[in-house]
């Protein structure tokens, strides 16, 4: 049984079903019809992550009134990343960038004396990275390994860099900041029965033609191979037998009916919030601290990639608001001896003007009208400022801290009777120093372009990368899972997804999620063969 149908769950289910194994998938959210979602998005007055999707599929850390809803925040900083509850999970509204982790990211403590090492090396995962790129449909430059050695080429050529990217790159010629085409799970040519990207510029929150990969690609492949998917079905508790093995999965459907399933193996793939939530809610006599939690690490070590966001106005038009939202990144500060002192970062050029930072172009119109502009003068001013907007962001590495954690809020319960989530989150000094380094890098980039009206967001944004809450490791005293993502405590439990990451590096997590899920599928298949 696979619980969750995002990229980790869908890939695992597909691979096992293709081997002829009996697979059941539980998904809390509904199926989403792409055409209906896109129409809803076009008609929405406010176009945000949730606007294309049915109500209750996109839980948010705050509602429109600024009040806390799904998460109860108890830390000094709010945790600003959320997720989508639907068949296909958060890949419906993800960006689509899929860089690999660097080899050094797997041995952070050994190399730099802080953070955590992974229980496996880059070299051990490298073949699975190639497999994951083939499964997701990766577009990239096979001649540029970006510091992560490759044994196989990308399936497709890279998505072209935008005109804006090219203007930035030209201004930085000879500097340390070299921008190159970022690998993407987005078709640059027709591939896997899906069309090439046509530049709709709505990758977040929805690709209207599925040129961008989403996990419904693999839920469909799993179902075609015989897997049975139950949408709007929530696992609420995992029950153990006398030997400490999961004997049944208690579940509840959206219509209020409930039942118990009795799988041989359970694969939790419900993201870095919902997975520890279910495990903690499964506390019982043989697991008083929660399922598979003898290490007391379930829910701990919550990480994101805090984002430093900066903006400026170019001296001449750079024509943003076209194509995929990110087409180029800079690796200059992803690794180096500085990591002993401050966090690494991955720099991105945004193709969405100042939409994220300042809600452009709507904010521009409001500002110019307030200045008294009307008619042709207003039209010309909107054209001028919109054509010259630049937005640069950096995703900053965050250390795994045990106090940053997901716990249960016993005072609030959802419609299934499961306690809601409480989050304690803080940004440590190491990460704060990385955010400061990012601001300095952004200023360098803007200065090289002779840009004006430079601004920096004083508050770190959320990247949507929920990592670390059920981590893998070599020691069952300090980790929940072994290198195959099998629980140390409960041997018929596997966990897939970014919850398993011991550290976060700077890369968008999805490709590593996929590679680890494919690797785990081999261990799951081998264990099932022993049970038969």
Q: Annotated active-site positions, please?
A: 465
Residue 359: Cβ within 10 Å count = 11
Q: Please state the φ and ψ torsions of residue 518, each to the nearest 5 degrees.
A: -65, -40
Q: Which helix (H) or strand (E) holds 72?
A: strand 71-73
State how far the Cα of 175 lies from the Cα of 63, in Å rounded to an integer. 43
CA distances from 54 to 41, 50, 85, 187, 464 (A): 11, 8, 10, 27, 20
Give the CA dihedral 429, 430, 436, 437, nearest 10 degrees: 160
| Cis omega (within 30 of 0) for bond into 211 | no
State how far the Cα of 32 lies from the Cα of 219, in Å rounded to an integer. 12
The count of residues in the chain is: 532
**What is the secondary structure of 110-169 as a DSSP string?**
HHHSSS-B-SS-HHHHHHHHHHHHHHHT-B--TT--TTS--SS--SBPPPPPPHHHHHHH
Q: Compute the C-alpha angle 460/461/467, nearest 5°.
A: 105
State how far the Cα of 523 lies from the Cα of 530, in Å rounded to an integer. 11
CA–centroid distance for 199 within its chain: 22
Pinpoint the alpha helices (H) of 389-509.
429-448
State how far the Cα of 18 lies from the Cα of 16, in Å rounded to an integer. 5
Contact present, 486 and 479 (Cβ < 8 Å): no
Q: Which helix (H) or strand (E) holds 454?
A: strand 452-456
Q: Which residues contact 18 (CB under 8 A, 6 or more apart)?
A: 221, 222, 225
């Amino acid at each position: 049984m696979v619980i969750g149908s995002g990229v980790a769950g869908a890939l695992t289910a597909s691979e096992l079903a293709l081997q002829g194994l009996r697979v059941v998938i539980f998904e809390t959210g509904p199926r989403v019809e792409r055409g209906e979602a896109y129409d809803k998005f076009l008609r929405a007055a406010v176009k945000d992550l949730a606007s294309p999707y049915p109500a209750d599929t996109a839980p948010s850390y705050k509602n429109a009134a600024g009040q806390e809803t799904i998460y109860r925040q108890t830390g000094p900083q709010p945790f600003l990343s959320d997720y989508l509850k639907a068949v296909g999970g958060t890949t419906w509204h993800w960006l689509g960038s899929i860089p690999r982790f660097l080899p050094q990211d797997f041995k952070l403590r050994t190399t730099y004396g802080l953070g955590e090492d992974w229980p496996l090396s880059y070299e051990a995962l490298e073949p699975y990275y190639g497999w994951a790129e083939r499964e997701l449909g990766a577009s990239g430059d096979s001649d540029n390994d970006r510091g992560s050695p490759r044994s196989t080429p990308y399936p497709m050529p890279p998505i072209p860099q935008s005109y804006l990217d090219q203007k930035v790159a030209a201004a930085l010629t000879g500097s340390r900041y070299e921008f190159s085409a970022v690998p993407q799970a987005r078709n640059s040519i027709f591939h896997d029965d899906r069309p090439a990207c046509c530049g709709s510029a709505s990758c977040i929150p929805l690709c209207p033609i599925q040129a961008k990969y989403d996990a419904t690609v693999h839920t469909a492949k799993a179902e075609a191979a015989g897997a049975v998917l139950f949408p709007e079905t929530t696992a609420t508790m995992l029950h153990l037998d006398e030997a400490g093995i999961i004997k049944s999965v208690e579940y509840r459907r959206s219509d209020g009916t409930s039942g118990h399933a009795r799988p041989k193996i359970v694969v939790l793939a419900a993201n870095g919030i919902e997975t520890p939530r279910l495990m903690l809610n499964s506390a019982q006599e043989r697991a008083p601290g929660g399922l598979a939690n003898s290490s007391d690490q379930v829910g701990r070590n919550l990480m994101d990639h805090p984002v430093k966001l900066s903006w400026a106005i170019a001296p001449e038009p750079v024509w943003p608001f076209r194509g995929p939202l990110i087409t180029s990144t800079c690796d200059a500060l992803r690794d180096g001896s500085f990591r002993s002192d401050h966090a690494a970062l991955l720099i991105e050029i945004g193709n969405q003007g100042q939409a994220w930072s300042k809600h452009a172009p709507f904010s521009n119109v409001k500002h110019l009208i307030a200045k008294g502009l009307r008619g042709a003068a207003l039209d010309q001013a909107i054209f001028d400022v919109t054509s010259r907007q630049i937005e640069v962001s950096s995703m900053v590495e965050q250390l795994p801290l045990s106090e940053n954690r997901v716990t249960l809020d016993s005072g609030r319960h959802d419609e299934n009777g499961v306690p809601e989530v409480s989050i304690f989150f803080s940004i440590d000094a190491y990460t704060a120093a990385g955010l400061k380094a990012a601001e300095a890098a952004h200023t360098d980039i803007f200065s090289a372009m002779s840009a004006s009206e430079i601004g920096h967001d004083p508050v770190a944004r959320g990247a949507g990368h929920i990592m670390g809450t059920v981590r893998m490791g070599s020691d069952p005293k300090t980790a929940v899972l072994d290198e195959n993502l099998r629980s140390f405590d409960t041997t018929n439990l596997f966990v897939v997804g970014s919850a398993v990451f011991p550290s976060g590096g700077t890369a968008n997590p999805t490709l590593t999620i996929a590679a680890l899920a494919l690797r785990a599928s081999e261990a799951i298949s081998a264990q099932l063969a022993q049970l038969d």
